[in-house]
Each structure stands twice: as structure tokens, then as C-alpha cells.
Structure 1
């Protein structure tokens, strides 16, 4: 009787397993219904004009090195203010004084242009507009200021062109945008001088000041994008260390969108080391997640032109300007 009972149980189990296999087989049959894969839907964005951005670089270089306390610096700052106003932006000039590593007092000016100042959701776009007063990485004329065509002027030009497009194009983003041009970024201590003073960070004076004393009390932004050295030939942009640390989701979003636009050769899916730049202080002091799009390689560092007299119009490439400008402009229209 035990044997019979075992046979009944095996028969029942067999029937049950058979039904399961039948159901599974039916589920494996291809369906006539089309399967729709999840795709990202992007909003249309206007075109970025690299010729216009290139012209803005040339205009800055024509003033001469924009070293704080110089006539060229004052003239270039006034020109930027007038440009921003001509694009319909609300402009704030934040003047302040600060000292350099070697005790020079600088008259500095952060310039902020606001698009849709009434909008509550805001994006912060930043660049520095001053240039270095020494060419400490060069082999000649080390104590003379540099043109700063890429290190300074290219970032300013990209932001000015974005502001111009927003002013003239029928397509408009759904967010407010603050264009901030930091002063005093590039006057840090030389790398190989005996009088190096490590008592504080001497770079990024404008962003250090603004991040603790913003132009609007209680200012906040959804996130920020800093553009620095974004016009050089053969530039490549890696995921800079502090950007990944403070705003990894923004880095991933911008890099993914750059690849969507076909700019994968420029925006490399690889991390680089942290760089002390204006975005660091915006992250640390203002608690605004800000990333840095900067030409810095994890293999060989900055380009050969960096802090030398080779940083002139000859190294500027309209293709690089177009890639960065279109990526940032496209990003704004996805919010």
C-alpha cells in the first residue's frame, strides 16, 4: 500500500509539473504585440554659434591681459556688463578687495547676469574672466602677463554666446539662469617659488568671496556648471574629481547628453583628479552642486599652453567651442 501511495503522489506531481511546463511554454511564445523599450525623450534646444563665441574671445584678447588693477581689466569688465545688458539680462556687479600671495591688494569685480530673475528654479553657469599676471610655466618672459585666450576668455565667450542665444531665439528654457563671471581666479602663487605662502588658498578669490557673500541673500540654485579652458585645439574633457565628489549625478547627466549629441570623443567617460577651481568653493561654501568642464587630462595634466604665452588665439578651435557650448545649452533645455 505504501508503494501504491507513492505512485499516486508521483502521478499527481507529474501532472502538476506538466501543467507548469505548459504554462511556461505558452509564456515563451512570441507575442504579436510590439514591445516598446524605454527611451529618453529630449527637448529641442537652439543652435550654439561657435563663430560668435570665437569673436567674443578675440574681443577679450584685444583688450590685452585682463589682470586685476589694470586698464585692460576695467575695460573688459565694462564691456561684459554692457554685453549682458544688451542681451536683456539683469546685471549685478559685486565689487570687493582681496590680497594676493605676495601682498598686492586687488580691486576685484564679480559680474552676474540673470535670465528670468523671477524664476524660482535656477541654474548657475560660471566662468572666470581675469587672466594670469605671470607666465610661470613658460621658458621666457616669465614675469609678463598672458593673453588667456583659453584660460579665461573661452569660458566667458561660451557663456556670453549662450546668453545671446537665449535673448534672440524663439525657444526658451523653463528655468532661470544666472551667468556668473568670477574675478581673481588666476592669481594664485607660482608652483616653484621660494616665497610660496600656504597660509590660505590664493586661487579663486572671486568664487571664495561670492560663495560666502552671494549677490542675492539666501541664493540657491538647482545645480551649476563651470566652464574653464573650453576652447583649445584637441581638448578632451574628463570627469573632474571634485565634480564627481559633490555632483556625480550632474556629471553623469551632462556627459550622457554630450554623447547623445555625438560629442563622445570630447567628453571622455573617465575620471580625473580633483582640481582647485571656482566650483570647489561653490560646492563647499554655497552648498550648490557644481561641476567643472575643464580641459585636464588624467594622463598628462593641463595642455602645453597652460600659464604660458602660448595661450593665445592660435590655440583656439571653433569645434571645441561648439561642442562645449552646444552641450551646456542643450542641458539647460532639459530642465
Structure 2
């Protein structure tokens, strides 16, 4: 990883302060902190393991096996781990036992960065034409964000290079439920998804918890994924969006980080911003022209669509961002 990037700064002299009126060119050498390499193959393996457990629908064996495995991995990396158990009502009247997983690196540090994803998967494939009532693998929608988060935690914990800030990996449960696509109404004021972030944002794992900023990872592993600047991210944390997207482009991932705006998405970051008052952005595959990827809420959301190159782009960019703080 390069420690330094050269940028050209053009200084235009104002007539009042410059006799000649000519512009001058100055090269500024900006020094960035050294950053470890993100291992996309390791992140891919973490996603594969989740898929191998089966769909991570709450109240199922695959869900409980995945929860215990995630906790074990964070503890294996030497992080301080807490589980936040709670209950939530579903759109069809069920009561689910859910668990947010919180893993902290350098818990004593005052300046903290929050990295989040959701670890559950959808119980129906309501955008598919076959097996609509069966749960999906969720390799990308759920699995990819967790895979990247686990690899970030592993690198931070094991690398000789350490960030100067504390990092909290907060994985939300119960994000991917919600009414079937055909039944959803935007006039409905009740949000039946994002259960974990709705609960945590009003009941943080530590009283008075705060973070400098947060990054949500949602659907960050598909082949050819393009990440536009999501609307709520721009509203609540525009400066963080610009910083992360610029880092991604400087690192050579301009095919993935697109300097164009997309619409607002009611994802976990919305509740963290609104209720916890922590500026959080969402790195999510959503096109202003076509919406979510073709795999979204279908059985095509499997390992066949996961690309290590996309994982590398997102993982290295987020890792770089953490290490510059």
C-alpha cells in the first residue's frame, strides 16, 4: 500500500493580492498513514461459511449456528464481544428472539469508528418467480457485509499496523424481514424491517455510546457492483460520504465508487442517524436508474454472484478510511 499520494493543487491568485495575475501550480505531498492489505479471499471464505449454515432466518438453526460462529470469530480475533438480546414483532404477528452482536477493538479509546452490517437473511424470495415462499441464501444481502466486517476485524487484530482509533463492529439482526414486495405500502408508517438497528439506536449497548462516524456495509460483494451516494447518507453525513468515496477512487476503485447520487433507502443507517445521532453512511448497491441488483430478494442471491474484486474494493477502502483517523 502506498503511503503517499501526490495531488496537484492549482492556486489561482486574486488580482488584489497578485501583481502578475497569473496562476501558479504547487505540488503538495500528502502523507497517509500506512494501511495493511485487505484479503478478499478471506472475506469470501467468511461469506461461504455463512451460506453453508443455511438461510439465517431468525428462530431457525441456521440463524443460531451463524450467531455463535460470528461471536466465536470475533473472540478468536481478541475483540471484546457483547450480545444484545431483544424481541421484535414481525409484520405477520410473530415474536422473534433476536441478537445484535457487538465486537470492540480497543474499547478504552475515546475516538471510535462504527462498522455495521446485518447478519440475518430474508425468509421469502418475493421478487423471484419460483420457490417464492422459501428463504434465500443471502450471500450478498447479509453475508457480504458480515464477511467484510469479519475480515476487517481480523486484519486490525492481527496486523502489526494498528489504527489509532477504537472500532466497534455492530452487526444487526432482523434487518431483512418486512412485508412481501407485493404487499408493501409506502403509506405504512410502521417499518417492519431493520429491527436490530431500530432497537440498538434507542438502546445502545453502552449508556451514552457515541462514535465519530459509522459505515454500514450492505450488499457489498456482487460482481460489477456500483456504489452510488445514497440519499440519507448524503443528508446526514455528506462529509463522510465524500471522504470515503474519494479514498475509494484514489485507491483505484473508481469503477465501484460512483460520484453520483441515488435515492434514499430506509436501511439500518437511517435509524442510527435519526435516533442514535451518529453520522453513518451506507455503502450499498443501488442504482438510481435500475434500483437494487437483479438478485435482490431472489434465489439468485447465492455464492455465484460474489466477486472477490468487489470485496477488495470495499474492504480496502473502508480499511484505509479507518487507518487515516
Q: Deviations over 1:275-329 (max 9, x none)?
A: 0100000000000000000000001000100000000000000000000000000
Q: Deviations over 1:22-52 (max 9, x none)?
A: xx9x95499xxx9743353321110000000
* Residues 65-80 of structure 1 aligned to structure 2 (within 5 Å): 65-80=55-70
How far apart in 2 are the matches of 1:109 and 1:230?
22
Q: CA deviation at 1:194?
A: 8.3
* SS of equivalent to 1:38: strand
How far apart in 2 are the matches of 1:287 and 1:238?
23
* Residues 256-271 of structure 1 aligned to structure 2 (within 5 Å): 256-271=246-261
How far apart in 2 are the matches of 1:230 and 1:185?
16
Match of 2:239 among 243, 249, 267: 249
The runs of 4+ residues in structure 1 deviating greater than 6 Å are 194-197
More strand by percentage: 2
CA RMSD of aligned residues (A): 1.9
Match of 1:231 among 221, 227, 240: 221
> Could you say which residue in structure 1 is the equivalent of 2:79?
89
More helix by percentage: 1
Task: Between 187-196 and 169-178, report the one with greater CA deviation.
Answer: 187-196
* Residues 267-282 of structure 1 aligned to structure 2 (within 5 Å): 267-282=257-272
* SS of equivalent to 1:179: strand
Task: Check whether the contact 1:190–1:196 (CA below 8 A) recurs between aligned residues.
Answer: no
> Could you say which residue in structure 2 is the equivalent of 1:157?
147
* SS of equivalent to 1:127: strand
Match of 1:322 among 291, 305, 312: 312
* Residues 118-137 of structure 1 aligned to structure 2 (within 5 Å): 118-137=108-127
How far apart in 1 are the matches of 2:284 and 2:189?
27
- For structure 1, the 5+ residue unaligned runs are 1-23
Aligned length: 308
Q: Deviations over 1:134-185 (max 9, x none)?
A: 0000001100000000000000000000000011110000000000100000
Task: Between 275-284 and 34-43, report the one with greater CA deviation.
Answer: 34-43
- For structure 2, the 5+ residue unaligned runs are 1-15
How far apart in 2 are the matches of 1:164 and 1:89?
9
Q: CA deviation at 1:197?
A: 9.2
TM-score (ref. length: structure 2): 0.91
TM-score (ref. length: structure 1): 0.89
